[in-house]
């Protein structure tokens, strides 16, 4: 039960930070997201844990990725890409499509560089050259 309260508190704090960064009042976000002002206040204070649908509405109101809120709420696993991916997802100036294109390009560069990088110490292949043991019992 304690873990659920921690998640609710974490997502509420994250939403408050995003709202403050966007310079939007609680009342304004309430209107933009279509979520009641008291309910939104309870979410921010960690009293309520919002559903995925409510998180999506809040994300639209904040003009951020719903995925970012889902990760913060523990609904989705943390995506790859580290701080660069996080920064792209959090950028309120980009559309969802632009964010996805940037993330795709970034990940393709990472894969390309990883493939081109010589392996530091490749694991030896375990090729067994001995004849396979007969697993059937003899008559």
What does pTM read for this prediction? 0.55
Separation between Cα atoms, residue 18 and residue 65, nearest integer Å: 11
Is the pLDDT score of 130 beyond 50? no
Is the pLDDT score of 29 beyond 90? yes
pLDDT at 78: 64
pLDDT at 61: 93
**What is the separation of C-alpha 84 from the centre of its chain, rounded to a whole number of angstroms?**
12
Model confidence at 30, pLDDT cuts 50, 70, 90, reads very high
How far from 105 is each of 71, 85, 98, CA to CA, in Å? 21, 11, 11
Q: What tokens does 129 get?
A: 């050259």
- pLDDT tens figures, 59-72: 999 988 888 788 88
Cβ–Cβ under 8 Å, residues 26 and 32: no
């Amino acid at each position: 039960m304690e873990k659920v309260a921690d998640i609710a508190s974490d997502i509420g704090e994250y939403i408050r930070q995003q709202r403050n960064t966007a310079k939007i009042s609680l009342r304004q976000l309430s209107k933009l997201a279509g979520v009641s002002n008291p309910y939104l206040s309870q979410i921010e204070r960690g009293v309520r844990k919002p559903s995925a649908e409510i998180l999506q509405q809040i994300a639209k109101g904040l003009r951020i990725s719903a995925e970012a809120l889902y990760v913060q709420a523990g609904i989705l696993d943390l995506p790859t890409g580290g701080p660069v991916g996080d920064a792209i997802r959090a950028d309120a100036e980009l559309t969802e499509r632009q964010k996805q294109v940037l993330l795709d390009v970034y990940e393709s560069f990472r894969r390309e560089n990883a493939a081109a990088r010589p392996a530091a110490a490749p694991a030896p292949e375990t090729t067994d050259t001995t004849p396979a043991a007969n697993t059937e019992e003899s008559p």
